[in-house]
Amino acid sequence: MKDDICGIVLAAGAGTRMKSKLSKVLHRLAGRPLLHYPVLAAVEAGARDVIVVASPVNRRDVEGCLGELELPPGVSVTIAVQEQARGTGDAARAALGELKRGWALILNGDIPLIRADDLLPLLDACTERACKLALLSCQLDDPSGYGRILRDTAGKVREIREQKDLQDQQQRDVREVNAGVYLVESELLRRTLGNLRNDNAQSEFYVTDIVADAAATERVVAATGEPAVLQGINDRQQLANLEAVLFERIASRHRLAGVTVEAGARIDDAVSIGRDTTIRANVSLRGRTVVGEGCVVDQGSVLDAAHLGRDVNVKPYCVIVDSRVGDGAQIGPFAHLRPGSELQDDVHVGNFVETKKTRMARGAKANHLAYLGDTDVGEASNIGAGTIVCNYDGFSKERTVIGKGAFIGSDSQLIAPVRVGDGAYVGTGTTLTQDAPDGSLVLGRPQLVVKEGYATRLRQRLKAKADAKKRHH
């Protein structure tokens, strides 16, 4: 494999058919911006440097998007700016300033299905067959819209001709099309890009014209790849179609690594999942979520930047965002762990429980209907049904600290800042406005009144009153 490859990813096009404020290459598929896919493919194929050609409009966003990439050590990605969208050849020219000696691997920025494996035939062609320009082609039943590979009678590649520049039916019938991926020796690229002209149907500088130029003096190889790799994204329908392909690919990758993934689960590309875990239908695992071994994430749950230990059971319809869950914990159904929740091993959080910036130590439980915000719950403490931590007074947020082995009775309110000591017991229905010392019982209930026989007498009186009213009418 060549070790002096520089990737050039063309991403300065306007992408008008997306009908979006967001530049096309920043739209996400399976959790990653479109642009990440060709960049990662180039890096995995061996590129040490990648130049992304951006426009003055999307430059900032492209920068941010590339900052999200986790790159292997020694790999650098830089941005070159194409001042005006004057065609793919003009875009490639914008990268020349950063291009070193060696080889340039040029990729369209809108092809998310491309992988390093698809690029290997180009590398092989340029090493073994000693050519200086190789490109990827595909055979399509319907080639319309793509550039056609035109060969001479001996079958040698002569040029690429764009759809709008085709001259006759014979050319239109050519089903071998250009995928938009080229491997070119750097000096040859400089020379041929320098010769580009825009006297064509679109008055653009086409990168594809380097082929005819090079073919005049050099052998050019077109390696035929899978048709899937060239599928580009021009509108949101194509984006949805290709995202479905990516989700299926990702599911299959996890299945082969020992994870049970039911049909209909949507797992983002950067997610990691341990063996013997089951991901049920309609689950979304987003961002950099990590799921340990032996877990179940049941139907309809959404996890984003969540970190689950081993043997965690996430029951149906939970939402877990930017939170950590320890080994053996049980969550849901219908639980909501908001950012900054840290649930240690064997914690139980049941239905209609919401946590935010809350730590629950080992074995703590909140099984039904509770809100725990800015709270620290000690080991093995039990939070009763309907407990609400009142952490916000409309101006600032305050913390609640509950010690180890404490018991909060159902329907209690804890008005922060407040502390419940180790082993303390807060009686059912208490509104806690001051600290409960270790081992104390705190009760804040109005006096209970019991009046024997009163209900019967009350009913008689009310009935008599209603009857009198009816007679009157």
Strands, DSSP E only, in 310-374? 313-314, 319-321, 324-325, 330-331, 336-337, 342-343, 348-356, 359-360, 365-373
State how far the Cα of 402 lies from the Cα of 242, in Å rounded to an integer: 49
With CA atoms as reference, report the closest residue to 65 among 22, 6, 127, 125.
22
Catalytic residue among 254, 307, 348, 368: 368
- Per partner kind, with CB cut-offs from 5 to 8 A, the member of Ca ion, ligand UD1, none near residue 381 is none
Angle at 140 between CA 169 and CA 91, to 5 degrees: 90
Neighbours of 146 (CB within 10 A): 22
Smaller CB separation from ligand UD1, 179 or 331:
179
Binding marks (x or -) toward Ca ion, 214..243, rule CB under 5 A? Answer: ------------------x-----------
How far apart are CB 346 and ligand UD1 at their closest, in Å?
Answer: 50
- Per partner kind, with CB cut-offs from 5 to 8 A, the member of ligand UD1, Ca ion, none near residue 192 is none
Q: Based on the residue annotation, tell me whether 368 is a catalytic residue of this protein.
A: yes
Neighbours of 240 (CB within 10 A): 11
Segment contacting ligand UD1 by CB under 6 A, of 178-186, 326-334, 340-348, 366-374: 178-186
Exposure string over 355-386, b if 16+ CB within 10 A, otherwise e:
bbbbbbbbbbbbebbbbbbbbbbbbebbbbbb
State how far the Cα of 264 lies from the Cα of 173, in Å rounded to an integer: 39
Question: Which one among 58, 82, 186, 341 touches ligand UD1, defined by CB under 6 A?
Answer: 82
Does position 88 interact with ligand UD1 (CB under 6 A)? The reply is: yes
Strands 342-343 and 330-331: unpaired
How far apart are CB 163 and Ca ion at their closest, in Å?
Answer: 11
Does position 147 interact with ligand UD1 (CB under 6 A)? The reply is: yes
Q: How many residues bind Ca ion (CB under 5 A)?
A: 1
Question: Which one among 27, 86, 348, 404 touches ligand UD1, defined by CB under 6 A?
Answer: 86
Smaller CB separation from Ca ion, 232 or 274:
232
Segment contacting ligand UD1 by CB under 6 A, of 171-179, 270-278, 385-393, 447-455: 171-179
Binding marks (x or -) toward ligand UD1, 194..223, rule CB under 6 A? Answer: ------------xxx---------------
Does position 85 interact with ligand UD1 (CB under 6 A)? The reply is: yes
Segment contacting ligand UD1 by CB under 6 A, of 5-13, 240-248, 350-358, 424-432: 5-13
Smaller CB separation from Ca ion, 179 or 265:
179
Question: Which one among 52, 62, 104, 178 touches ligand UD1, defined by CB under 6 A?
Answer: 178
State how far the Cα of 154 lies from the Cα of 376, in Å rounded to an integer: 77
Backbone angles phi, psi at 200, to 5 degrees: -135, 180
How far apart are CB 232 and Ca ion at their closest, in Å?
Answer: 4
Length of the chain (residues): 473
Helical axes 116-128 vs 36-44, angle rounded to 10°: 40
Does position 162 interact with ligand UD1 (CB under 6 A)? The reply is: yes
- Per partner kind, with CB cut-offs from 5 to 8 A, the member of ligand UD1, Ca ion, none near residue 162 is ligand UD1
User: Do residues 111 and 234 make contact, with C-beta atoms less than 8 angstroms apart?
Assistant: no
- Per partner kind, with CB cut-offs from 5 to 8 A, the member of ligand UD1, Ca ion, none near residue 343 is none
How far apart are CB 333 and ligand UD1 at their closest, in Å?
Answer: 44
The token pair at 241 is 């179609």
How far apart are CB 18 and ligand UD1 at their closest, in Å?
Answer: 11
Binding marks (x or -) toward ligand UD1, 24..53, rule CB under 6 A? Answer: -----------------------------x
Paired residues of 426 in beta bridges: 408, 442
User: Do residues 29 and 239 make contact, with C-beta atoms less than 8 angstroms apart?
Assistant: yes
State how far the Cα of 207 lies from the Cα of 109, in Å rounded to an integer: 14
Segment contacting ligand UD1 by CB under 6 A, of 117-125, 173-181, 315-323, 377-385: 173-181
State how far the Cα of 469 lies from the Cα of 454, in Å rounded to an integer: 23
Does position 91 interact with ligand UD1 (CB under 6 A)? The reply is: yes
- Per partner kind, with CB cut-offs from 5 to 8 A, the member of Ca ion, ligand UD1, none near residue 147 is ligand UD1
Does position 416 interact with ligand UD1 (CB under 6 A)? The reply is: no
418 Cβ contact partners less than 8 Å away, ≥ 6 residues apart: 400, 401, 432, 433, 434, 435
Strands 431-432 and 375-377: unpaired
**3-state SS, residue 257:** coil
Three-state SS across 359-409? EECCCCEEEEEEEEECEEECCCCEECCCCEEECECCCCECCEEECCCCEEC
Binding marks (x or -) toward ligand UD1, 98..117, rule CB under 6 A? Answer: ----------xxx-------
- Per partner kind, with CB cut-offs from 5 to 8 A, the member of Ca ion, ligand UD1, none near residue 349 is none
- Per partner kind, with CB cut-offs from 5 to 8 A, the member of ligand UD1, Ca ion, none near residue 285 is none
State how far the Cα of 112 lies from the Cα of 304, in Å rounded to an integer: 22
Does position 12 interact with ligand UD1 (CB under 6 A)? The reply is: yes
Amino acid residing at 352: F
Footprint of ligand UD1 (CB under 6 A)? 10-13, 53, 82, 85-88, 90-91, 108-110, 146-147, 160, 162, 177-180, 206-208, 230, 232
Catalytic residues: 368
